[in-house]
Amino acid sequence: MGRMKLSEIAVRLGVELAGEDREISGLAGMEQAGADQLTFLANPKYAHKVKNTAAAAIIAAQALPQLPTLVSQNPYLDFARALELFYRAPDLPEGISPLAAIAANARIGPGARIAPFAVIGENVTLGQNARLHPHAVIYAGASVGDDLLMHSHAVIREHCRVGNRVVLQNHAVVGADGFGFAKRADGSHHKIVQSGIAVVEDDVEIQSLSNIDRATLGETRVERGAKIDSLVQVGHASVVGQDNIICAQVGLAGSSILKKSVLLAGQAGVSGHLTIHDNAVVYAQSGIGHDVEAGHVVSGSPAFDYRDWRRAVTAFPRLGEMVRTLRALEARVQDLERQKENHGGQPSSEAAS
């Protein structure tokens, strides 16, 4: 970490500085920022917090009178880019540790940094500039592109294929067995060999404790640019589409197909053998049991249009009261009908009132 002038940060980010040039030591949120730190305003609804921040400067979509401003078309993105100017995670030592276990016929590209106790199996192909932390494991026959980053206990299983610039956080698994069993006559279960593979394309990041099942036959695929949060289960033969965002604790049953730029919020569940089309959004804790059309936003379990869902959940706490009111109205109608029968087809004046 070092200090940097706002003017230099502006040049590095390709944005305009409006206001006084100041020296910056780092970045922080508006409420936590100190007198020499840079903050950001990405959502206008938080603009009222600017007057209370102690930050030295801010990244925002337009110049603010309160603070020197780095004027950005995408403040959140430029905040993320600015973070990279001040913090880089420590790199591994150069070279391959003699304590790593590497098969003699593994092919490892130049620039690799492989830590003690990492394991690379038979006939593995690993591109250039790989980074393997302790206890990262690549099984036999796997093929991996350039610039792989594997944190401790991440695993790439046998014969799986991984592209370029892929990040596997701790305990992420690519290609574990799919969950497949055939039931015998006596009720016991026979394991189905998972003979397929998992394929992870370029620029994918898979967070901690998430699993991409290998397919029973064929492949499971995570397409370019997808980002998968922690504790996510991708079932066998599923497809996670380009630039998908899959949040924590999501589960995809087998043969779920997600098209381009789908967003699944936390704890959503997909029942499998269905398609969620381009740019669809699934709210947290939703249950998807049918196809979702392109661009649709759904919520609930079973999921339906989020606008109808909002109206439904607003009404839900009042269902007891509504039922009581309905029963009272039914009783009133029945009473009026009885009054009508008792007075020759006309309700009594007392009942009518």
Point out the residues that are catalytic. 236
Residue among 20, 77, 28 nearest 55 (CA): 28
Contacts of 198 (CB under 8 A, 6+ apart): 157, 160, 161, 174, 175, 212, 213, 214, 215, 219, 220, 221, 222
**β-pairing verdict for 57-60 and 69-71:** parallel
What Å distances lie between residue 143 and 163, 211, 219, 351, CA to CA?
Answer: 8, 18, 14, 84
Contacts of 174 (CB under 8 A, 6+ apart): 155, 156, 157, 160, 162, 168, 198, 200, 206, 212
For residue 165, what is the DSSP state? Answer: S
Contacts of 51 (CB under 8 A, 6+ apart): 66
Query: Quick check: bond before 302 cis, omega within 30?
Result: yes
How far is residue 102's CA from residue 115's CA, in Å, rounded to a whole number?
Answer: 11
95 pairs with which residues across the strands? Answer: 113
Contacts of 23 (CB under 8 A, 6+ apart): 3, 4, 5, 6, 36
